[in-house]
Structure 1
């Protein structure tokens, strides 16, 4: 069963997308929302979300892009696959920033929809059935080894001859070199500044001078690292969408 949500302020569009979903050869539970507020308030644990970008400015006034950002900031066991459905094509690059799976233009072509839905369903299925491999970092402190899951680390900060790991449940400091950790963690972390090694999984936004994390912390982004960071981050998002 694929829990599928449609968030669009147009009744006719929701009905049309619902009909297209029902025509696919998959077992789906379909939930409809007319606003970003309704979708966030429900928290139905959706697997797949069809999301309009130009949502009506009711309630908090959030559009689809803001809603997607809010969803990505949530500490969910499994993030939904997001497919934007919109009448405008100028948001395509913004869609990458929130890890969108696909970008469909209205009016939605039935054949294109079926192709995209099949790929999205395959990703949902693979994610549900894949064994969960927990990657860990082992650090020496005193006479003991401390094992820390990668996903518990927001970022690592270099401080004198120590590193400070900023974790979901606090901080941990030990003697280590940040460049050594950068090499070990390069699949999921990026050195945005000489003093910061950031977990790309928790990046929710960036500018040319700073990176914003899902815990609302903002870290300095070196101007010399900016271009490489953007390329690495977009590759990281695309890799996640292709899993």
Structure 2
């Protein structure tokens, strides 16, 4: 599939370097990639509002703080990512932050950031992150098909937050709730590795998790789900290994 990638950095040198690495990645993967660079968050956001067609955003965080094109008081990468998430539907866009500092990592949970890359960007690490982003985008195109009496409903996997069980019925929680008379086990193979089965009554999307405790999992929208006994460590391993 073709990919549209936007690079936003108020340093022309850094932006050109990252763009050259994206080009090398595309060539090595035989991928069809269209790349644009933007010197400020405001410029990228204006373009995004016209056409919401970017697949991957590579965002410098400190724009406006380093004397670059953005200028003092300009929107930074975190604010830009939040604006994009407010505009889009379903959280499909893959957001990668590029930063010279590690202080911002906690803020990335609010916008479901795929990864952080530290400057100077290492080619091998960027290639690995772009591979993950491409995999997520391919999965986002897949749908869960539900058969109802009136016809088939197709739910994009990227919109699903979790599935839970009530008696003999499973409810899929996506942009709205869908309830069908099926077993939870029937859904596991259809959903794939970015979903985790937590006990007998819950399957949760790993990309929708903000925080995990011994007793609960908090989703990126703030909803908290009870975590069955014994699921804490396997869930943490799944987050590390599959996302």
Deviation digits for residues 144-203 of structure 1 (CA, Å, limit 9, x no counterpart)? 8855445253321211232222232x33323333244346535332123543212334x0
1:228 aligns with 2:234: yes
SS, match of residue 142 in structure 2: coil
Q: Which runs of 5+ in 2 are unaligned?
A: 24-33, 66-71
CA change 1:63–1:234 in 2 (3 A) is farther
**Other-structure match for 1:5:** 7
SS, match of residue 93 in structure 2: coil
> Contact between 1:204 and 1:213, CA under 8 Å: does it hold in 2?
yes
CA change 1:146–1:122 in 2 (3 A) is closer
**Other-structure match for 1:240:** none
Give the whole-Å Cα distance in 2 for the aligned partners of 1:133 and 1:42.
24
> Contact between 2:94 and 2:113, CA under 8 Å: does it hold in 1?
no
Give the whole-Å Cα distance in 2 for the aligned partners of 1:211 and 1:159.
20
**Other-structure match for 2:38:** 31
Give the whole-Å Cα distance in 1 for the aligned partners of 2:217 and 2:131.
35
CA change 1:222–1:79 in 2 (3 A) is same
- Within 5 Å, give how 1:133-172 maps onto structure 2: 134-138=142-146, 146=152, 148-149=154-155, 151=157, 153-168=160-175, 170-172=176-178
Deviation digits for residues 13-44 of structure 1 (CA, Å, limit 9, x no counterpart)? x222134356669474211225xx77556526
Give the whole-Å Cα distance in 2 for the aligned partners of 1:122 and 1:198.
23
1:88 aligns with 2:101: yes
TM-score under structure 1 length normalisation: 0.60
Give the whole-Å Cα distance in 1 for the aligned partners of 2:76 and 2:21.
28
Give the whole-Å Cα distance in 2 for the aligned partners of 1:125 and 1:190.
20
| Count of aligned positions | 216
**Other-structure match for 1:79:** 93
2:118 aligned to 81, 100, 104, which one?
104
Q: Which runs of 5+ in 1 are unaligned?
A: 238-243
Give the whole-Å Cα distance in 2 for the aligned partners of 1:81 and 1:90.
17
Give the whole-Å Cα distance in 2 for the aligned partners of 1:25 and 1:195.
42
CA change 1:39–1:207 in 2 (3 A) is farther
Give the whole-Å Cα distance in 1 for the aligned partners of 2:229 and 2:75.
31
1:211 aligns with 2:213: no
